[in-house]
Amino acid sequence: MNLRESHWAVYFLFWLVVIVVGGAIVGAVSFPLLGPVFGSKLTPLQHTIAGARHLGFIALIWAPGIALVLSFVRAHRRKTPQ
């Protein structure tokens, strides 16, 4: 496989990683802020770790499908003339 054929796999993996890391960051920020509002007794560090794990996992579930759709949309836009 040459670079011309493999760039779609790199584009797919790029979006996969961006979505998962983005979900983990959102979880790490939102859980310590919202945990005490809902009466959680965990420490802020425990909230940060739990938020990164939970929302990172949820993002991991959705990321392959979203990355695949983004890859197909890009391929379609490149193939069809403007």
In a domain, 10, yes or no: no
User: Is residue 12 a part of any domain in this protein?
Assistant: no
pLDDT digits (tens, 9 = 90+) for 2-27: 556 668 888 899 999 999 999 999 99
Looking at the chain, the whole-number percentage of residues with pLDDT higher than 70 is: 93
Assigned domain for 53 exists: yes
Domain that holds residue 23: 19-77
pLDDT at 80: 87
Residue 60: other Cβ atoms inside 10 A: 14
**Is residue 69, in this structure, part of any structural domain at all?**
yes
- Any domain includes 14: no
| Residue 67 maps to a domain | yes
For residues 68 and 20, the answer to whether their CB atoms sit within 8 Å is no
Angle, in degrees to the nearest 10, between helices 3-34 and 44-79: 150
Residue 13 placed within a domain: no
pLDDT at site 63:
96
6 in a domain, yes or no? no
CA 11 to chain centre: 14
The total number of structural domains that make up the chain? 1
For the chain, the C-alpha Rg in angstroms (whole number) is 18
Q: Residue holding tokens 């959705």?
A: 62
